[in-house]
Amino acid sequence: MNNWRHHWRKIKSAIVSGFCLISAGVVIAPLALVLFYLLKAGASSLDPHFFTQLPKPVGESGGGMANAIVGSLTLLGLAALVGIPIGVLAGVYLSEFGSPRMKWAVRFAADILNGTPSIVWGIVVYALVVLPMQGYSAYAGGLALGFMMIPIITRTTEEMLALVPNGYREAAFALGIPHWRIVLNVVLKTASRGIITGILLAAARVAGETAPLLFTAFGNSFWSHRLSEPIAALPLQIYVYAISPYDDWHRQAWAGALVLILFALALNIGVRVVTRGRLGFFAGRRIQPASTSGPG
Amino acid sequence: MNAAAVSGKAGSPARWALAPPGKAGDKFFRLLTWLMAMMVVVLLALVGCTLWSGSRLAIAKFGWHFFVHSNWDPVNGDFGALPFIFGTFVSSFLGLLIALPLSLATAVYLTELAPGWVRQPAISMIEMLAAIPSVVFGLWGALVLVPWLQQGPYPLLTKYFGFLPFFQGRSYGPCMISAAVIIAIMILPIITSISREVFRAVPDSQREAAFALGATRWEVTRLAVLRYSIRGIFGAAMLGLGRALGETMAVTMVIGNWPEISKSLFSYGYTLASGIANEFAETTSDIHRSALFELGLMLLLVTVVTNVLAHMLIGAVGARKHAGI
């Protein structure tokens, strides 16, 4: 009896372990499947024209997404102009200055904004920018993406600055350096790799966003010559092609998705290589003072 | 040479160091960072106020009736949000129902069972899954997953579970379950990575104590790990739910976009987010646009509630993971 129970407990443990293993496989399977189809359907429709030509009308095969690629990069640039200064400086405030109550409020706001659905950003910027300017524009799209970047960069910057040892700050204070110079030249400089990582991750995340651009950048089948005009973006173009009933357009959508995902993955993998784990930037910094003080 | 250089320059840095640092720069810099931090708070208020003012027209016209009325008729200007609320909650909870057990089991595998050489690659792959944009999931879902589901699993569900009202009728592909499956895939990474962090926070002494009592691996996991981190598991589920409720593009592409309330999960549906995404650019009347703004306001409130609950449950770990670090 006792022996039987013992066996049953072991069997139960093995069953659950098996279930956990299978679950891990099931969780990873979609990644493999998505990548497989992207490569299968995307790579075959990906040619040099894709990067150099404008989209062709229905019925004509070929064409590319040159305007959408440039458009996405433009929007990312505009977003960075909004997101990076506000995000980094707000992060500095949280880590270096700030009363407890204010810090709580900013952190709370940033966390809520982080969880705000992307479509909400779309209609908010529509009401704030598109309606007053009476037209869809690259400005509106860039602003929507920039708004999304702010909370991400704020929180990552704060985390990274918190990792800088207080000894660095105290040493700088002891030299009589003004506080703001300490923040700029000691604290931010020490954490710079971590902050850049955060910025790149934020960029990778908003680069694939479609919903905030639907009613702001709107999309454009041609080149846009001014930032006050509607502008094409890679995710938007993929969406339009994907919901169309044409096989040619579906192929273009796959190719576009492949380019988009390679861009996002490259940023992500690049970041992980640069940082080598969460504290990686710091391990690198620790080595440097030792090697420079050696010869002296 | 060295000495001369040092003595020549010695005066100036010393004077500079001994003089009290100027207060103007500090004040300015502090004010600048304060302003930028304030911007984050103001931005949240701005989002809320914009949605509120955008939806004023619909709120004035329909009042509370908006939430229980199920007719959505842009032509006659009659709007009720019930089909959207219904679709959002059904697809999200169904998605969570699929994703939660899988994510927890994966997190258990990664923290308790997996050999070292499997762990890191698997974690990286799950993080990559989180990096795939919504529209790419939508493309894959609409062109590959949904046609496959329609041919394989859906007829099986009808055959064996057809007696349940949920699985009656015929699926045309895009439907509530398709949306739930896509949502499940998209929230798997966040729930997995947060529950993994939560499990990792369980002290090893808990596990060792259970092992010492002769518990099997599963018993250790159940008694020492899962029970210890029940709060964090709820938090992870909440955060996943928050993501699911707001998921837009992929859902829009596989749910069928039709405002109806049906018992059958094979029928078309609509969610708050997909309603806005699908109709906002084509609004013909102010009241239609205002009704869509009110859907947005609802969506914001629901995600705020889930996120606040999630953060209360998991604390800093979740906030960090949530920011994508």
Q: Locate the domains of chain B by residue range.
A: 62-322
In-domain check, residue A29: no
User: Considering only CB atoms, which chain B residues are within 8 Å of A250?
Assistant: 143
CATH of the domain at A162: 1.10.3720.10
Contact B71, A140 (CB under 8 A): no
The residue-averaged pLDDT of B305-319 equals 78
In-domain check, residue A41: no
pLDDT at B127 over 90: no
* Poorest-pLDDT segment among A160-174, B13-27, B237-251: B13-27
pLDDT at B14 over 70: no
Cβ contact A119–B46 (<8 Å): no
Tens of pLDDT, residues A256-281: 999 999 888 788 777 777 666 544 44
Q: Best mutation site among B26, B126, B139 for testing chain A: the one with the most A CBs within 10 Å?
A: B139
The residue-averaged pLDDT of B62-79 equals 90
pLDDT of residue B18: 53
User: Considering only CB atoms, which chain A residues are within 8 Å of B304?
Assistant: 112, 115
The residue-averaged pLDDT of A6-11 equals 90
Contact B265, B176 (CB under 8 A): yes
Assign B6 a pLDDT band (cuts: 50, 70, 90): very low
In-domain check, residue A19: no
Q: Model-level pTM?
A: 0.89
Across the interface, of A123, A156, A242, the residue whose CB is closest to B253 is: A242
- What residues contact residue B303 under an 8 Å CB cut-off, 6+ apart? A115, A116, A117, B242, B245, B246
Give the integer Cα–Cα distance in Å for B143 and B283: 28
In-domain check, residue A292: no
Share of chain B above pLDDT 70, in %: 90
Find the domain containing A127 and state its range.
63-285
pLDDT of residue B317: 54
Domain B62-322, what fold?
A: MetI-like fold (1.10.3720)
* Poorest-pLDDT segment among B171-180, B265-274, B314-323: B314-323
Chain B CA closest to residue A99: B34
The DSSP string of B156-207 is HHHHHHTTSGGG-S---S-SHHHHHHHHHHHHHHHHHHHHHHHHHTS-HHHH
- Tell me whether A34 touches chain B (CB under 8 Å): yes
pLDDT of residue A193: 86
Tens of pLDDT, residues A61-118: 778 889 999 999 999 999 999 999 999 999 999 999 988 999 999 999 999 999 999 9
- What residues contact residue B240 under an 8 Å CB cut-off, 6+ apart? B96, B99, B100, B103, B187, B190, B191
- Tell me whether A118 touches chain B (CB under 8 Å): yes
Number of domains within chain A: 1
Helical ranges in A177-246 per DSSP H: 179-181, 188-190, 192-207, 234-242
Give the integer Cα–Cα distance in Å for A115 and A120: 11
pLDDT at B323 over 60: no
pLDDT at B41 over 90: yes
Tens of pLDDT, residues A186-233: 999 999 888 988 899 899 899 999 999 999 999 988 888 889 999 999
Helical ranges in chain A per DSSP H: 2-37, 43-45, 48-52, 66-96, 100-115, 118-125, 131-133, 138-162, 166-174, 179-181, 188-190, 192-207, 234-242, 247-275, 280-293
pLDDT of residue A44: 85
The residue-averaged pLDDT of B84-107 equals 96
